[in-house]
Chains A and B, each alone.
Chain A
Amino acid sequence: ILESSLADIKFAWTEAGLREEFEAEEVADLIQALFAESADLKRYALSTLVNSLLESEKPVPFEFLINGQFLRTTLDEFLTANGISAETTLSVEYVRALLPPTQTATFPHDDWVSSVDVLSATSPAARWTRDAHIDGSRQRILSGSYDGLVRVWNTSSELVATSPSLGNGGHTGGVKSVKFLSPTKLVSASLDRTIRIWSYKESTTSPATATIDPAFELYGHQSSVDSIAVHGPSGRILSASSDHTVGVWTAHKSSAPEAPTDLLPSSLPSSKRRKLSRAGPTVPQRGPLALLAGHAAPVTGVAFSPTAPNVAYSVSQDHTLRTWDLLAVPDAPNTAEVSSRMVAHPLLSVCVMPGLSLVAAGTSARSVVLIDPREGAARVVAKTLKGHANSVVALAQSPVSEYGLASASHDGEVRVWDVRGGSIAVQGGDSQGDEGKGLVVESVFTLPRESMKGKPRKVAGEGVKVLGMAWDRDIGIVSGGEDKMIQINREAE
């Protein structure tokens, strides 16, 4: 290996895009490090070496990829396990190791937390409005709850604002999904079949107080609206409903179509109607730009392409990921479906990974699959991320690495993955069609619920199912669930 590979060992500083070739004596050090006796010693030696080469003031922990695979054993074991002969050229890459966030904060809630979003200087809603004035004290966390309320919090666990309750212009069922459209506009979706747009206003006093006032309500879905995605610059909203359709809506009231009258609460024959119409402000009602048909089962997740906002993705319990061309909306919604990719399991969550040209989807079969959305692509599932013990219901891309992904599961955990590498699936394992044949990736670390500390694990994540999650560069990984808690995990400063 020494003779044949020395000159070919190349290092790439992937995050900064900096590439370096080694001096002869540095390569000698590297070889020594690579052949260190124990895996720990080896990783430490490699890390020290790279830090000294980079002349870093503060040592940074690194991970090493050899031929695209994470090196987690000794090199000898690695070469044997992967059937690599000593004659082969090795490509070595080092990347900043993902560190388990050590600082946590929790906010108690009155009821199950179904969904969370964040507002920070680096969050989408702030970037869309070019609002660079969101310092630490103005960072906000948005939560949706099964009690039907939308809440805004500061990062010190203090409640800043609560949406109106049922009868006062609020939702008449549990909230399933919430998003910041801008620093002053919120969107929520509910079991009550509606999507609501809210104006969010903060006082300039300290501590800040704020109000959430209904702007208008969107009608069109025939069943619960379980997930939404928003795009600030266009004011577009996508919705995933258990009525099997994908809704396309506008947050601009003046250009929104009229609401379909047969779905309004005023057409309810039940006594519920009397309860609902009692008092309360009259909130304007609007309808969808389009309801995209195609899925054959509940739609569970929607996403805009971050690089091409006229492209949308949806996932469904019908096992498919569908790609939609929003330029066809509203004139020819029947032609909006671009492609449909089928996997072996019902899909429950979605996240676009633009740097990889892949779409991640969480399954009811306890995995995350990385799907190539293109109709012509030879392989539907590029990789399978395994380790969760229950349905994967929320996904978020790392704010710093195009390879980083976080997944939230009904097993009561959030897992963080680096989707590089992976090993060939063991035959006969949890194999199902395409998923069984691809590469299997294991998670880098796991974030359990703080509320479970010191308590025995319950079957099926009972009491601690994670239901919603967001990942922000400034705030960290924010998650909420059945434990009635919002939990923040972030790296120590």
Chain B
Amino acid sequence: DIDPESLLPKLPNPEELRPYPTTCAAVFSGHEGRVRSIAVDPTGTILASGADDGTVRLWELLTGRQLQRIRIGDEPINAVRWRPGRDALILAAASGNEVYFVIPLTIPNMTPAVESASRTVLDMGFGHATGKGDTNSASQKIPGSTWSRPGSKLEEQGVLLKIVVRATVKVICFHRRGEYFATVAPSGQSHAVAIHTLSQHRTQLPFRKLKGLPQTATFHPSKPLFFVATQRSVRIYDLSRQQLVKSLQPGAKWISSIDLHPGGDNLIVGAYDKRMMWHDLELSIHPYRTLRFHTKAVRAVKVHPGGLPLFVDASDDGTCQVYHGRVVDDLMENATIVPLKTLRGHKVTSQLGVLDVDWHPRNPWCVTAGADGTCRLWT
């Protein structure tokens, strides 16, 4: 007889897979309402957060010290995302059916040169419209999508550009080079998924006839591929050829979040039905692994962007699960996935737990956003 256990591949001991986040190192207190979205800046020193209190806040990452508070409006801030790259430092924030672009003037890495470069990135589109001698032809094709200054009160705080779309924006995702970004407004029907060109202040709607309700989206880091998640599937489109390449079937009833491994060949998917899926895009349209570690919805998933073999999810049960996930180039060998640590600390508030999670760009540190009104740094 052969012991079936002996046929299973041996998983490494979590202790041998250090470093990974284990301990809460800072609590960011100040928001008066659920923190919906967080993002660590590309230099790894500043945390941005957006909450139901209508404010965007900037914090010194290591100490939890608040550096700036910007009141955008009365509506919840559903998403905050940094534009990739270090030449300019720009934060996008979604409030209702508007997306605001902020140059946070109080953060220490905002040198005069970075500030100028950031202003150029945001203002180029105004010039573009004028240069064509046309009153913004692109947005005329799509009534309801307008690009404008947000008014002097916000401009004084560094909020320099506003885009109005059709419905409430829940997700903002940038292309790696920072020139394109997409917004997802699930209730927007044919306007739900939009791709915007920052330098031209232009909005396009390439997915007017999408089957199912769009939830979230992401760009491939190097190929012209775009991933759109509806409630049940993840569709991969080739943007240059304007065609559907593949439709992944994670097996979930309602997808909440997706994130691509920086290599571009593996995708993780979080679902409101408590699970998380790992897809090897070369292997199958079905998940390579399904991970059930939570008792409530999984709201966010994130792969470490800086080359560490780590990924993490965030759940309404108030915890985050940190995993080891090593991708090998060898086609014969599959990814190694090992659960490492459950991060506990956020208080479940009105049945909502951890709403967003992000990684530090280099270190094995992650930050979480809670319905309890706090953010936490884990090291």
Using a CB–CB cutoff of 8 Å, the interface residues on chain A facing chain B are 112, 146, 173-174, 191-193, 222-224, 242-243, 262-265, 267-272, 297-298, 317, 344-346, 348, 364-366, 389-391, 410, 428, 430-432, 458-460, 462, 465, 467, 482
Given contacts A242-B43, A345-B19, A432-B19, contact A364 B29 (CB under 8 A): no
Q: Any chain A CB within 8 A of the CB of B23?
A: yes
- A458 neighbours in B (Cβ, 8 Å): 27
Q: Are A462 and B115 in contact (CB under 8 A)?
A: no
Residue of B at shortest CB range from A191?
A: B108
Q: How far is the CB of A361 from chain B (nearest CB, A)?
A: 16
- B18 neighbours in A (Cβ, 8 Å): 430-432
B 288-328 contacts with A by CB, 8 A: none
How far is A243 from B45 in the complex, measured between Cα atoms in Å? 10
- A460 neighbours in B (Cβ, 8 Å): 23-27, 376-377
Q: How far is the CB of A228 from chain B (nearest CB, A)?
A: 15
Q: Are A222 and B111 in contact (CB under 8 A)?
A: yes
How far is A271 from B157 in the complex, measured between Cα atoms in Å? 9
Interface centre among B24, B45, B63, B103 (most CB of A within 10 A): B63
Q: List 29 A-B contacts (CB under 8 A).
A: A112-B65, A173-B106, A174-B65, A174-B67, A193-B108, A193-B111, A222-B111, A223-B43, A223-B108, A242-B108, A263-B111, A264-B112, A269-B112, A269-B115, A270-B105, A346-B363, A348-B62, A364-B379, A391-B62, A410-B63, A430-B18, A431-B15, A432-B18, A459-B24, A459-B27, A460-B24, A460-B25, A460-B26, A460-B376
B 114-135 contacts with A by CB, 8 A: 114-116, 119
Q: Are B63 and A467 in contact (CB under 8 A)?
A: yes
Q: Are B105 and A272 in contact (CB under 8 A)?
A: yes
- B106 neighbours in A (Cβ, 8 Å): 173
Q: How far is the CB of A189 from chain B (nearest CB, A)?
A: 11
- B45 neighbours in A (Cβ, 8 Å): 223-224, 242, 298
Q: Are A391 and B109 in contact (CB under 8 A)?
A: no
Q: How far is the CB of B105 from chain A (nearest CB, A)?
A: 5
Given A242-B43, A298-B44, A317-B363: 11 more A-B contacts, CB < 8 Å: A146-B65, A193-B111, A267-B112, A297-B362, A317-B44, A348-B62, A364-B379, A390-B23, A391-B25, A465-B26, A482-B63
Q: Any chain A CB within 8 A of the CB of B150?
A: no
How far is A149 from B363 in the complex, measured between Cα atoms in Å? 32
Given contacts A269-B115, A270-B158, A344-B19, contact A192 B108 (CB under 8 A): yes
Q: Any chain A CB within 8 A of the CB of B11?
A: no
Q: How far is the CB of B91 from chain A (nearest CB, A)?
A: 15
Q: Any chain A CB within 8 A of the CB of B113?
A: yes
Q: Are B15 and A223 in contact (CB under 8 A)?
A: no
Given contacts A193-B111, A242-B45, contact A410 B25 (CB under 8 A): yes
Interface centre among B24, B108, B116 (most CB of A within 10 A): B108
- A428 neighbours in B (Cβ, 8 Å): 15
- B112 contacts which of A262, A346, A366, A389 (Cβ < 8 Å)? A262
Q: Are B379 and A391 in contact (CB under 8 A)?
A: yes
- B158 neighbours in A (Cβ, 8 Å): 270
How far is A358 from B106 in the complex, measured between Cα atoms in Å? 38
- A410 neighbours in B (Cβ, 8 Å): 25-26, 63
- B29 contacts which of A191, A264, A391, A462 (Cβ < 8 Å)? A462
How far is A425 from B322 in the complex, measured between Cα atoms in Å? 26
Q: Any chain A CB within 8 A of the CB of B329?
A: no
Q: Are B108 and A268 in contact (CB under 8 A)?
A: no
Q: Any chain A CB within 8 A of the CB of B188?
A: no
How far is A364 from B379 in the complex, measured between Cα atoms in Å? 7
- B119 neighbours in A (Cβ, 8 Å): 269
Q: How far is the CB of B139 from chain A (nearest CB, A)?
A: 26
Q: Any chain A CB within 8 A of the CB of B156?
A: yes
- B65 neighbours in A (Cβ, 8 Å): 112, 146, 174
Q: Are A271 and B63 in contact (CB under 8 A)?
A: no
Q: Are B25 and A297 in contact (CB under 8 A)?
A: no
- A297 contacts which of B44, B103, B155, B377 (Cβ < 8 Å)? B44
Q: Are B27 and A462 in contact (CB under 8 A)?
A: yes
Q: Any chain A CB within 8 A of the CB of B42?
A: no
- A268 contacts which of B26, B62, B64, B115 (Cβ < 8 Å)? B115
- B362 neighbours in A (Cβ, 8 Å): 297, 317
Given contacts A365-B379, A391-B62, A465-B63, contact A222 B23 (CB under 8 A): no
Return the CB mask of B11-41 against A: 1 if under 8 Å, else 0: 0000100110001111101000000000000
Q: How far is the CB of B343 from chain A (nearest CB, A)?
A: 12
Q: Which 7 A-B residue pairings sit nearest by Cβ, starting from the closest?
A: A224-B108, A223-B109, A267-B112, A462-B27, A460-B24, A191-B108, A223-B108
Residue of A at shortest CB range from B157?
A: A271
- A364 neighbours in B (Cβ, 8 Å): 25, 363, 365, 379
- B84 neighbours in A (Cβ, 8 Å): none
- A317 neighbours in B (Cβ, 8 Å): 44, 362-363
How far is A192 from B43 in the complex, measured between Cα atoms in Å? 16
- A174 neighbours in B (Cβ, 8 Å): 65, 67
- B111 neighbours in A (Cβ, 8 Å): 193, 222-223, 263
Q: Are B116 and A269 in contact (CB under 8 A)?
A: yes
- A365 neighbours in B (Cβ, 8 Å): 19, 379
How far is A264 from B112 in the complex, measured between Cα atoms in Å? 8
- B15 neighbours in A (Cβ, 8 Å): 428, 431
Q: Any chain A CB within 8 A of the CB of B262?
A: no
Q: Any chain A CB within 8 A of the CB of B345?
A: yes
Residue of A at shortest CB range from B108?
A: A224
Return the CB mask of B51-69 against A: 1 if under 8 Å, else 0: 0000000001011110100
Residue of B at shortest CB range from A458?
A: B27
- B345 contacts which of A268, A297, A459 (Cβ < 8 Å)? A459
Residue of B at shortest CB range from A241?
A: B108
Q: How far is the CB of A263 from chain B (nearest CB, A)?
A: 6
